[in-house]
Amino acid sequence: MTSMRTRERLVQRLMEQGVTDLQVLDVMRNTPRHIFLDEALSHRAYEDTALPIGYGQTLSQPYIVARMTEVLLAAGGKLDRVLEVGTGSGYQTTVLAQLVPKVYSVERIKPLQDKARTRLRQLGLHNVQLKHSDGGFGWPDQGQFEGILSAAAPRTVPQELLNQLAPDGVLVIPVGGEQQELQLIIREGDSDRFKTQTLEPVKFVPLLSGTVR
């Protein structure tokens, strides 16, 4: 189930859905998704679906991970530091960490963060910093970031995330409640103006406030 052929099929599917960035496709091909799931589910790791990771949360669908990463890279120019909101299993974190120099990732549910930390270590990724906190506030001590990617959907975009965008910085974020859309928000130079582009309808878990121990 974790064979190269199974992963190749997933990459084919991503391409059919319109993912074109070869670097992203390559990273998706080489990232073992099964280690981000409990054993009982790992045989489904290379299906293009979201899968449960406990605590009512999900491992994002490969298509959406690829798409958001591709959008971030294309719009972001030279990305040095990227903030991820919602580490979850650490899968998207792992994909990002292979494509940008430094990833900062925040998660509000401590046990999920602990598991993600173990996996990142297993994979030998040392350019990731994790923090247990409410990512609706970003990571103020580390801001600003050239790129921010959110894996959870707020009703409206938190001002703190906008504040932590570097000049020309790029935020990729699902926004909404029952109906959500993926938005690409770009800071215009070093101004406080932002350009928003709506990309496609999506379905993410909600961005919740506070933390869980």
Q: Does 85 bind ligand SAH (CB under 6 A)?
A: yes
Residue 112 near ligand SAH by CB under 6 A: yes
Taking CB under 6 A as the rule, does residue 183 contact ligand SAH?
no
Residues that bind ligand SAH (rule: CB under 6 A) add up to a total of: 25
From the list 62, 59, 43, 39, the residue with the least C-alpha distance to 51 is 59
Contact between 92 and ligand SAH by CB under 6 A: the answer reads yes
Nearest of 157, 149, 146, 159 to residue 192 by alpha carbon: 159
* 205 touches ligand SAH (CB under 6 A): yes
Own/partner contacts of 1-7, CB < 8 Å, gap of 24 or more, are 1/34, 1/42, 1/43, 1/45, 1/46, 2/32, 2/34, 2/42, 2/45, 2/46, 6/46, 7/46
Instruction: By CB under 6 A, tell whether 152 contacts ligand SAH.
Output: yes
Least distance from C-beta 101 to ligand SAH, angstroms? 20
Q: Which residue lies nearer to ligand SAH by CB, 31 or 58? A: 58
- Nearer to ligand SAH by Cβ, of 168 and 181: the residue is 181
The verdict on whether 150 is a catalytic residue reads no
- Determine phi and psi for 196, rounding to 5 degrees: -115, 135
* DSSP output for 72-121: HHHHHSS--EEEEE--TTSHHHHHHHTTSSEEEEEESBHHHHHHHHHHHH
Which range, of 13-21, 41-49, 132-140, 186-194, touches ligand SAH by CB under 6 A?
132-140
Task: State yes or no: cis peptide before 183, omega within 30 of 0.
Answer: no
> Is residue 14 a contact residue for ligand SAH (CB under 6 A)?
no
Which of 31, 57, 69, 98 is in the footprint of ligand SAH by CB under 6 A? 57
130 is a contact residue toward ligand SAH (CB under 6 A): no
Written as one letter, the residue type at 53 is I
- Identify which of residues 62 and 169 has a Cβ nearer to ligand SAH in the complex: 62
* Measured distance CA(206)–CA(45) in Å, rounded: 23
**Which residues are annotated as catalytic?**
60
- Which residues are at the interface with ligand SAH (CB under 6 A)? 53, 57-60, 85-86, 88-89, 91-92, 106-109, 112, 134-136, 151-152, 205, 207-209
